[in-house]
Amino acid sequence: MALCSCQTEVDFPQLPYDARVIIQGVVEPDSLPVVFLNRTIPYLSGPTDPAKLVIRNASVTIRSAGETDHLTLDSTYLPLDCKYAYFYKGKIPVTRNATYTLRITDRDKTYTATTITSLTPVTIDEVSYTPTFKDLYGEHEGVITYFKDNPDEENYYRFEMTRKADVNSRDVTGNNRDLLVPCLEEGDTIDFTEVGRSVYDDKNLQGQQVKLVIEPALTHTVVVLIHVRIQSIDKATYDFYKQLDDQKLSQYNPFVEPIFINPGQFGKDALGFFGSMIRSEAVQFEMPADE
């Protein structure tokens, strides 16, 4: 019995596409407000360039207690990606227990949303490590964080970790970083902050001990000093990132229905969120070498 196969490349015509505005804004006490403002592109567009996605020359303001902060377009360089990230940044530090209203005007269209900075940070009790744990995506090493949920309120959490990265650092998935990082020289190190893909609620855990096990985003072959924080986020922020997480899950599991991003605070005019967060104090931990 002989087996043979063939491969045929098919060009799909690009259908008419109406770009959507996507807004990702967050305010955090004692920090300057930041808003990412971009347009969507068709799924089959190929590699993306943040410089071509950002919406420029928009009017972006955040108002609170009679004070208006006019945000201006800014950027920061991401050495591991060899790209700049673009965002609108304010000049007035955010305060706790205040109401903030975001207003964006672009091409004669206005988008508004409101958030309140009333979240309570948690206190991390312990950080530890496991060389192996299993989830839908396979078997990995994991950073384990323990903390007590704030009782008598709905809470939503996200993991954050800062560590040093160098020219040998690679994405654990292998995506986009199969080769050494071209924008770092041998011996260079940078501070790299990774934020967990998944978000968590405290359903059935109110006031109890919470345990999060998170796979690090970057590979490492030596002991790495990390600083772990837990972000407490509001419901608008949680809802948006929960949909993104569920969307990725549906790509890996054929028995899960496809997930689409539903309208949120901006209705059908734009996707995204304007929310608030507060971080725990950082806990330092030496992460063992991944064998």
Domain boundaries along the sequence of the chain? 21-116, 124-260+276-287
- The position carrying tokens 């990230």 is 85
Please state, rounded to an integer, the average pLDDT across all residues of the chain.
87
Nearest to 235, CA basis, from 201, 259, 261: 201
- HSE (CB half, 13 Å, CA atoms) of 66? 0
pLDDT in tens, 29-62: 999 999 999 998 887 777 778 899 999 999 999 9
Which alpha helices (DSSP H) does 206-275 contain, by range? 235-252
Q: How far is 69 from 24, CA to CA, in rounded Å?
A: 17
Percent of the chain with pLDDT over 70: 88
Query: Residues of the chain with pLDDT > 90: what percent?
Result: 55
* Entry field: residues in the chain: 291
Question: What confidence tens digit (pLDDT) does each residue in 157-166 have?
Answer: 999 999 998 8
What are 276's two structure tokens?
């608030």
pLDDT-wise least confident of 36-40, 181-185, 248-252, 276-280: 248-252
How far apart CA 277 and CA 156 sit, in angstroms, is 10
Gap between the Cα atoms of 55 and 37, Å rounded: 6
Angle (CA) 97 229 81, round 5°: 110
Out of 111-125, 179-193, 218-232, the most confident range is 111-125
Place of tokens 């490492």: 220
Say what the pLDDT of residue 184 is. 78
pTM over 0.85: yes
Interstrand relation of 67-78 and 83-89 (parallel, antiparallel or unpaired): antiparallel
Would the pLDDT of 149 be above 90? yes
What pLDDT is attached to residue 43?
72
The CATH class given to the 21-116 domain equals mainly beta
Contact yes or no for 143/216 (Cβ under 8 A): yes
d(CA 113, CA 102): 5
Q: Would you say residue 126 has pLDDT above 50?
A: yes
Q: Which of 263, 218, 204 is nearest to 239 (CA)?
A: 263
Q: How far, in Å, CA of 191 to CA of 165, rounded?
A: 6
Q: Which of 226, 207, 54 is nearest to 145 (CA)?
A: 226
The greatest distance separating any two alpha carbons of the chain, rounded to the nearest whole angstrom, comes to 80
